[in-house]
Amino acid sequence: MSDPVTPAGTTTLPPSANGSAPPPAPASPAPRRRLRTRISGVRIALIAGIVILAVVLIFIIQNANAVNISFLGAHLHLSLAVALLFAAIAGALIMAAAGTARITELRQIMRRDRRKSRAS
Protein backbone atom coordinates (compact mmCIF):
# COMPACT_ATOMS: atom_id res chain seq x y z
CA MET A 1 0.00 0.00 0.00
CA SER A 2 1.45 3.38 -0.95
CA ASP A 3 1.48 6.51 1.19
CA PRO A 4 -0.84 9.33 0.15
CA VAL A 5 1.01 12.19 -1.56
CA THR A 6 0.23 15.85 -0.94
CA PRO A 7 0.20 18.39 -3.77
CA ALA A 8 3.64 19.64 -2.72
CA GLY A 9 5.05 16.17 -3.42
CA THR A 10 5.68 15.15 0.20
CA THR A 11 4.21 12.06 1.76
CA THR A 12 1.92 12.23 4.76
CA LEU A 13 2.30 9.90 7.68
CA PRO A 14 -0.66 8.40 9.53
CA PRO A 15 -1.13 9.49 13.16
CA SER A 16 0.61 7.34 15.75
CA ALA A 17 -1.22 4.71 17.76
CA ASN A 18 -1.99 7.08 20.66
CA GLY A 19 -3.87 9.46 18.30
CA SER A 20 -1.37 12.33 18.33
CA ALA A 21 0.11 13.77 15.18
CA PRO A 22 3.72 13.02 14.27
CA PRO A 23 6.33 15.55 15.42
CA PRO A 24 6.69 18.51 13.09
CA ALA A 25 9.53 18.48 10.60
CA PRO A 26 12.41 20.83 11.37
CA ALA A 27 11.96 24.25 9.77
CA SER A 28 14.10 24.91 6.76
CA PRO A 29 16.40 27.92 7.10
CA ALA A 30 14.97 31.18 5.81
CA PRO A 31 16.33 32.28 2.45
CA ARG A 32 19.18 34.75 2.84
CA ARG A 33 18.19 38.29 2.00
CA ARG A 34 20.46 40.72 0.28
CA LEU A 35 21.56 43.58 2.47
CA ARG A 36 20.93 47.06 1.17
CA THR A 37 23.23 49.78 2.33
CA ARG A 38 23.24 53.54 1.91
CA ILE A 39 26.18 53.31 -0.46
CA SER A 40 24.35 50.81 -2.67
CA GLY A 41 21.40 53.20 -2.74
CA VAL A 42 23.67 56.09 -3.71
CA ARG A 43 25.23 53.94 -6.43
CA ILE A 44 21.84 53.09 -7.89
CA ALA A 45 20.79 56.75 -7.74
CA LEU A 46 23.97 57.83 -9.54
CA ILE A 47 23.43 55.26 -12.29
CA ALA A 48 19.82 56.38 -12.71
CA GLY A 49 20.96 60.01 -12.80
CA ILE A 50 23.50 59.28 -15.54
CA VAL A 51 20.85 57.50 -17.61
CA ILE A 52 18.42 60.42 -17.18
CA LEU A 53 21.18 62.91 -18.08
CA ALA A 54 21.94 60.96 -21.27
CA VAL A 55 18.25 61.00 -22.24
CA VAL A 56 18.05 64.77 -21.60
CA LEU A 57 21.18 65.39 -23.67
CA ILE A 58 19.76 63.39 -26.57
CA PHE A 59 16.52 65.39 -26.25
CA ILE A 60 18.40 68.72 -26.33
CA ILE A 61 20.51 67.71 -29.33
CA GLN A 62 17.49 66.55 -31.33
CA ASN A 63 15.41 69.67 -30.51
CA ALA A 64 17.89 72.44 -31.22
CA ASN A 65 15.42 74.53 -33.25
CA ALA A 66 15.05 78.06 -31.89
CA VAL A 67 11.61 79.31 -30.88
CA ASN A 68 10.22 82.65 -29.74
CA ILE A 69 8.78 82.63 -26.21
CA SER A 70 6.69 85.37 -24.66
CA PHE A 71 5.87 85.17 -20.96
CA LEU A 72 4.61 88.03 -18.78
CA GLY A 73 6.00 90.66 -21.10
CA ALA A 74 9.37 88.97 -21.50
CA HIS A 75 10.34 87.90 -25.01
CA LEU A 76 13.01 85.24 -25.43
CA HIS A 77 14.55 83.44 -28.38
CA LEU A 78 15.60 80.00 -27.06
CA SER A 79 16.13 76.48 -28.23
CA LEU A 80 12.93 74.43 -27.92
CA ALA A 81 14.66 71.84 -25.74
CA VAL A 82 16.06 74.46 -23.36
CA ALA A 83 12.62 76.10 -23.06
CA LEU A 84 10.99 72.74 -22.27
CA LEU A 85 13.79 71.93 -19.83
CA PHE A 86 13.18 75.23 -18.00
CA ALA A 87 9.45 74.45 -17.88
CA ALA A 88 10.13 70.99 -16.42
CA ILE A 89 12.49 72.46 -13.80
CA ALA A 90 9.90 75.08 -12.86
CA GLY A 91 7.25 72.36 -12.47
CA ALA A 92 9.59 70.26 -10.31
CA LEU A 93 10.32 73.27 -8.08
CA ILE A 94 6.61 73.97 -7.65
CA MET A 95 6.01 70.32 -6.70
CA ALA A 96 8.93 70.41 -4.25
CA ALA A 97 7.55 73.56 -2.64
CA ALA A 98 4.10 72.00 -2.25
CA GLY A 99 5.61 68.81 -0.80
CA THR A 100 7.77 70.79 1.63
CA ALA A 101 4.76 72.78 2.79
CA ARG A 102 2.79 69.58 3.43
CA ILE A 103 5.65 67.92 5.33
CA THR A 104 6.07 71.05 7.46
CA GLU A 105 2.35 71.05 8.21
CA LEU A 106 2.41 67.37 9.25
CA ARG A 107 5.43 67.93 11.51
CA GLN A 108 3.64 70.80 13.26
CA ILE A 109 0.59 68.59 13.83
CA MET A 110 2.81 65.82 15.25
CA ARG A 111 4.55 68.27 17.62
CA ARG A 112 1.20 69.62 18.78
CA ASP A 113 -0.13 66.11 19.42
CA ARG A 114 3.06 65.15 21.30
CA ARG A 115 2.75 68.21 23.55
CA LYS A 116 -0.89 67.42 24.27
CA SER A 117 -0.08 63.81 25.21
CA ARG A 118 2.74 64.95 27.55
CA ALA A 119 0.48 67.51 29.24
CA SER A 120 -2.24 64.96 30.02
At 26 the pLDDT is 66
Kindly state the helix (H) or strand (E) to which residue 66 belongs, with its residue range: strand 66-71
Residues of the chain short of pLDDT 70, as ranges, are 1-31, 34
> Model's pTM, two decimal places?
0.48
Q: Compute CA distances 69 → 10, 74, 119, whole Å.
A: 73, 8, 58
Q: At what angle do helices 38-62 and 80-119 cross, to 10 degrees?
A: 150
Eight-state DSSP code of residue 4: P
